[in-house]
Amino acid sequence: MTSISLPSLADFRRIVVKVGSSLLVDSGAPKTGSRLRHAWLAALAEDIAELHARGADVLVVSSGAIALGRNVLGFAPGALKLEESQAAAAVGQIALARNWAEALSHHGIIAGQILVTLADTEERRRYLNARATTAKLLEMRAVPVINENDTVATTEIRYGDNDRLAARIATLAEADLLVLLSDVDGLYTAPPAKDPSAKPIAVIEAITPEIEAMAGGAASELSRGGMRTKIEAGKIATAAGSHMVIADGRVKNPLKAIAQGARCTWFLTPSNPVTARKKWIAGTLEPRGTIYIDAGAVRALRAGASLLPAGMQRLEGSFRRGDAVVIRDEAGHEIGRGLVGYDAEEAQRIAGQSSRAIEAILGHSGRAAVIHRDDLALVGGESGPAAK
């Protein structure tokens, strides 16, 4: 294991940084008022600004809404009832978002708040929406600040921990790195609080049952996830082509500390986000229909372009927006598969038309592409200049 060279933060182009509640919110401070750790947040914003300035896209998944809000509302310590934690989240999220926006704005960075539920990341139609919003924010060089929408999420439909949520966000955003900043400095061979002989692990190439057993189950009072949800996050992220690192967030400038070689645990992915996503589209999803395209569109797709309405000749199946469809040429040969941006009925109406005509035909301005190039997996891959 030690022979593997560890990745460097400088290598990554899109990074999700997950911040745990216990880092942002002080548990020992006064009973009321803000307990947000401003100086720590300011230092983290500095680290983020540095990554951002060298051209990396950064997304933040920040916990802390419930921890902040419960204090403002004056709830007693200990477990909260569902509606109490929802009320706490409603109050705390405002403060959380404001503080992130302010901290980032000192570096000229615009923050955009995204609150998601489990369904937004699991259900493909909604997943496409969250994905498009995130992509647009990143294109505008803004930093999305994301949390679970705890005010409406109930037990059955919520993540409950931001570790797995952050891993889903890394997948959705095709991030190549997920950083989990936590109150531990990585994974140990056993829970270190219980076993003084536990040894830190620097790098994990595959999450085996032995690795899972090392995680134990402990979680601190403020944070929902323990090491177990971090391992779950590692599985999600590495399967989707992102590396993940668990690092100590209790220090000031924790990202700089990782870059300077602080102790942490890397979970390596054998893949990359684009390849992993294309594999998912090509292999995992059950296609709900077929779109036949003309020769010009076949050439365009192979050169790395999106599928536009003009190239569609006819279609079969009663697919919905977000479903996987098979794409075939006029002779019926499979060209690839993709996630379709329109329901079958609407796709039918715009088939063969120019993208400019979409609004006049449908009465609303849909997306310019029927299948976006990022949502396409071609048989044999792409070759042209526009290909990723």
Query: Which residues bind to ligand GLU, rule: CB under 6 A?
Result: 21, 63-67, 89, 147-148, 150, 161-162, 223-225
CB under 8 Å to 335, separation ≥6 — which residues? 293, 298, 301, 302, 327, 328, 329, 378, 379
Least separation in angstroms between residue 101's CB and ligand GLU is 16
Comparison of 29 and 379: residue with beta carbon closer to ligand GLU: 29
Comparison of 117 and 147: residue with beta carbon closer to ligand GLU: 147
CA distances 160 to 24, 148, 182, Å, are: 17, 8, 16
Residue 386: CB atoms within 10 Å: 11
CA distance 90 to 183: 25
At 124, list the tokens: 């493909």
143 - beta bridge partners? 111
Comparison of 62 and 306: residue with beta carbon closer to ligand GLU: 62
Q: What DSSP character marks residue 25?
A: B
DSSP secondary structure string for all residues of 177-202: EEEEEESSSS-BSS-TTT-TT--B--
Least separation in angstroms between residue 260's CB and ligand GLU is 27
Least separation in angstroms between residue 68's CB and ligand GLU is 8
Least separation in angstroms between residue 64's CB and ligand GLU is 5
Least separation in angstroms between residue 147's CB and ligand GLU is 5
Comparison of 154 and 348: residue with beta carbon closer to ligand GLU: 154
Judging by beta carbons within 10 Å of its beta carbon (0-12, 13-18, 19+), is residue 289 exposed, middle or buried? middle
CA distance 330 to 294: 6
Least separation in angstroms between residue 347's CB and ligand GLU is 37
For residue 161, which phi and psi values (nearest 5 degrees)?
-130, 145
Q: What DSSP character marks residue 62?
A: E
Comparison of 162 and 306: residue with beta carbon closer to ligand GLU: 162
Least separation in angstroms between residue 249's CB and ligand GLU is 13
For residue 326, which phi and psi values (nearest 5 degrees)?
-90, 140
In one-letter notation, the amino acid at residue 76 is A
Radius of gyration over every alpha carbon of the chain, rounded to an integer in angstroms = 23
Comparison of 66 and 327: residue with beta carbon closer to ligand GLU: 66
Comparison of 112 and 225: residue with beta carbon closer to ligand GLU: 225
CA distance 335 to 272: 23
Comparison of 121 and 162: residue with beta carbon closer to ligand GLU: 162
The dihedral built from the CA positions of residue 91, 100, 174 and 218, taken in this order, carries a sign that is negative
Comparison of 95 and 245: residue with beta carbon closer to ligand GLU: 95
Least separation in angstroms between residue 149's CB and ligand GLU is 9
Pairing mode, if any, of strands 143-148 and 57-62?
Answer: parallel
Least separation in angstroms between residue 164's CB and ligand GLU is 9
3-state SS, residue 292 = strand
CA distance 306 to 301: 6
291 - beta bridge partners? 315, 327
Comparison of 183 and 212: residue with beta carbon closer to ligand GLU: 183
Least separation in angstroms between residue 97's CB and ligand GLU is 11
